[in-house]
Amino acid sequence: MIRVAIADDQELVRDGFSLILRSQPDIQVAAEAADGRQFLDAVRRDSRIDVALVDIRMPVLDGLQATRELATIPHAPAVIVVTTFDDDAYVLDAIAAGARGFLLKRSSARDLIAAVRTVAAGEAVLSTEVTGAVLDRVRATGPATRVELAAYQLTARETDVLALIGAGLNNNEIAERLYLSMSTVKTHVTNVLAKTGSRDRVRAAILAIQAGLTP
């Protein structure tokens, strides 16, 4: 059972998320909060919360600061930032704060449920449009220093996979592009993240751009 906390200052949004998630047999809504401080208090009371849906703009304590403070709490849940704001600066701030996922509130119920399950499984998730915005911003600003990949000791195929991650492709698209099975792609992605020390696909994608693997 995946235990979820929902933090949003709009009751209608909390109710909507709760209704969607409670419809799933493997997801339980364990706590709801109207601001970041209430959210942190709920997490401190219940160490069994696995995933938290956190709005960026909330009173008392915003979602970004609440996410940062989770680092001081043992067994803290993985955070999915959910917001109406699709400014890529928020995405970068959320990733820097430790968020494992970022979804826009206009995402579908299916995407929300999938994101909760993905993050609960230890992976990271970003909506496609958000990922594109982040990578476009990195490309526009350009890397401060060129990253050399030799130290990571990637195989040729792993380098190919990293380049496609940098282009914003998902596992299905990578499999089609390289004529590989999904299981093989997942293995390559896991190896790439481990070898490069990337916590998630977004960090790996940024590395690919900094290494000059993508235009």
Encode pLDDT of 96-153 as tens digits.
778 888 888 888 899 899 999 988 988 777 766 666 666 666 666 665 556 788 889 9
pLDDT in tens, 155-207: 999 999 999 988 878 888 899 999 999 999 999 999 999 999 887 777 788 88
> pTM, whole model, 2 decimals?
0.75
**Nearest-5° angle of CA 51, CA 83, CA 77?**
15
- Please report, as a single letter, which amino acid is at residue 59: P
- E strands in 34-173: 51-54, 78-83, 101-104, 125-126
pLDDT in tens, 21-49: 999 999 999 999 999 999 999 999 988 99
Rounded Cα–Cα distance for residues 120 and 167 (Å): 25
Residue 184 vs residues 64, 175, 179: alpha-carbon distances, Å: 35, 8, 10
Rounded Cα–Cα distance for residues 60 and 51 (Å): 21
123, HSE (Cβ side, Cα atoms, 13 Å): 13
Q: Find the distance separating the first CA and the last CA of the chain, reported in whole Å.
A: 42
